[in-house]
């Protein structure tokens, strides 16, 4: 580790979270590895301008959604995407571009938020925090006077997350309301009966999933590549897509403007899964799929409908 490295509280949280659940020897520099922004693919926004606001009646949640809700639900549907931040951080504004890009394609995106009291250690988000976001969307869809009343497609819910947040997505994927999960730069641990109790999911959690799984990592620069791949290999019955983006590293493009290339992958996955978008489907399905023929990616899939 280089000398004189200064980390913000949530970076320290991310580091401690990862070190508690991942292979030994992970440094802050390894966590921070990212795809160089120069010449990298740019985020492709959808047709909707996006507004960001605190969730009504739920101060621990923040939403990203189309500003104009008139098209919903008559001309378009508004599925839900729940997001878990890297490091299981309650707050990380650097994902705002990523989440705005997903929302701009016609999705209600909900993530955690909240200020930390001075001197207090940052609290880590849990799968229960993300579950509360699903509960909130259901309440808000039914609340008289809500701008979202009757607008939300509550039967179409995705849970996605990066790093520790990806582990939360795996845990919450067992919830019957979750239709698909997206796991970025993350995966499950091998089961160890001698290990102390941990909230981090093991391979046993995969048997509780019931919808398609998206697994994306940053290739060899990403210390979670092997675990991401092993998680894909351990999925025995569900549709799954695995992608390793060369040179992306652990943080990959999450902090690029609009979330960069990884935001495009996330958006296209839910556009296909929940809106049946054929152009989005072409990113993942078939021997000539967009990522299959991109020299920057190593991909594999199973049980995806052709």
The string of pLDDT tens digits covering residues 194-240 is 766 667 899 999 999 999 999 999 999 999 999 999 999 999 999 99
Residue 287 pLDDT greater than 80, yes or no: yes
In three-state secondary structure terms, 142 is: helix
Tell me which of 12-26, 93-107, 113-127, 285-299 is least confident: 12-26
Is the pLDDT score of 140 beyond 70?
yes
In a domain, 18, yes or no: no
Cβ–Cβ under 8 Å, residues 242 and 213:
no
| Sign of the Cα pseudo-torsion (12, 13, 17, 22, in order) | negative
Q: Residues 144-158: what's their mean pLDDT? A: 98
Task: Report how far residue 93's alpha carbon sits from residue 265's, in angstroms, rounded to the nearest whole number.
Answer: 20
Is the pLDDT assigned to residue 14 strictly greater than 60? no
- Asked if 106 and 77 touch (Cβ cutoff 8 Å), the reply is yes
Collapsing DSSP states into helix, strand and coil, what is residue 42? coil
- Going edge to edge, which strands form the sheet with 213-217? 50-55, 58-66, 108-112, 78-84, 152-162, 180-184, 213-217, 240-245, 297-302
Mean pLDDT on 47-66: 97
- Model confidence over 79-138: pLDDT tens digits? 999 999 999 999 999 999 999 999 999 999 999 998 555 555 668 999 999 999 999 999
Chain mean pLDDT for the chain: 91
Q: Which domain holds residue 272?
A: 46-188+199-302
Instruction: With respect to residue 218, please indicate whether it lies within any of the assigned structural domains.
Output: yes
Does residue 129 form part of some domain?
yes
**How would residue 305 be classed by pLDDT, with cut points 50, 70 and 90?**
confident
| Residue 23, domain member (yes or no) | no
Q: Is residue 232 part of a domain?
A: yes
Tens-digit pLDDT profile for residues 236-281: 999 999 999 999 999 999 999 999 999 999 999 999 999 999 999 9
pLDDT tops 80 at residue 4: no
pLDDT of residue 149: 98
Instruction: Give the pLDDT confidence score for residue 266 in this predicted structure.
Output: 99
CA-to-CA separations, 253 to 36, 113, 118, 129, 161, in angstroms, rounded: 8, 21, 31, 25, 13
Domains of the chain: total:
1
175 in a domain, yes or no? yes
Global pTM value: 0.91
39, pLDDT greater than 80: yes
* Residue 190 CB neighbours (<10 A): 10
Residue 33 falls within a domain, yes or no? no
What CATH number corresponds to the domain at position 67?
Answer: 3.40.50.1820
Q: Is residue 126 part of a domain?
A: yes
- Is the confidence at residue 8, as pLDDT, over 60? no
List Cβ neighbours of 215 (8 Å cut-off, separation of 6 or more). 183, 187, 228, 229, 231, 232, 240, 241, 242, 243
Non-local (6+) Cβ contacts of 44 within 8 A are 101, 264, 267
């Amino acid at each position: 580790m280089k000398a004189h490295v200064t980390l913000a509280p949530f970076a320290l949280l991310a580091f401690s979270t990862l070190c508690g659940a991942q292979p030994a020897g992970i440094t802050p520099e390894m966590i921070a590895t990212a795809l160089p922004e120069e010449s990298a693919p740019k985020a492709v926004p959808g047709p909707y301008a996006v507004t960001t606001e605190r969730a009504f009646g739920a101060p621990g949640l923040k939403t990203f959604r189309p500003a104009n809700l008139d098209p919903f639900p008559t001309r378009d549907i508004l599925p839900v995407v729940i997001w878990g931040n890297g490091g299981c951080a309650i707050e990380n504004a650097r994902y705002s571009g990523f989440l705005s890009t997903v929302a701009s394609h016609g999705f209600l995106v909900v993530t955690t938020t909240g200020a930390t009291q001075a001197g207090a250690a940052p609290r880590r988000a849990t799968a229960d925090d993300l579950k509360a976001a699903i509960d909130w969307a259901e309440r808000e869809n039914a609340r008289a006077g809500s701008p979202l009343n009757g607008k939300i497609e509550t039967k179409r819910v995705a849970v996605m997350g990066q790093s520790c947040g990806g582990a939360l997505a795996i845990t919450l994927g067992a919830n019957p309301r979750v239709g698909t999960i997206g796991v970025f730069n993350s995966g499950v641990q091998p089961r160890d009966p001698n290990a102390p109790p941990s909230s981090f999911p093991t391979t046993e959690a995969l048997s509780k999933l019931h919808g398609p799984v998206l697994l994306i990592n940053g290739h060899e620069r990403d210390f979670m590549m092997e675990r991401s791949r092993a998680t894909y290999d351990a999925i025995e019955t569900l549709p799954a897509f695995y992608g390793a983006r060369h040179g992306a590293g652990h943080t990959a493009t999450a902090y690029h403007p609009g979330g960069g290339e990884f935001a495009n992958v996330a958006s296209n996955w839910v556009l296909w899964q929940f809106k049946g978008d054929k152009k989005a489907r072409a990113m993942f399905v078939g021997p000539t799929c967009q990522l299959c023929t991109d020299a920057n990616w190593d991909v594999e899939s199973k049980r995806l409908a052709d």
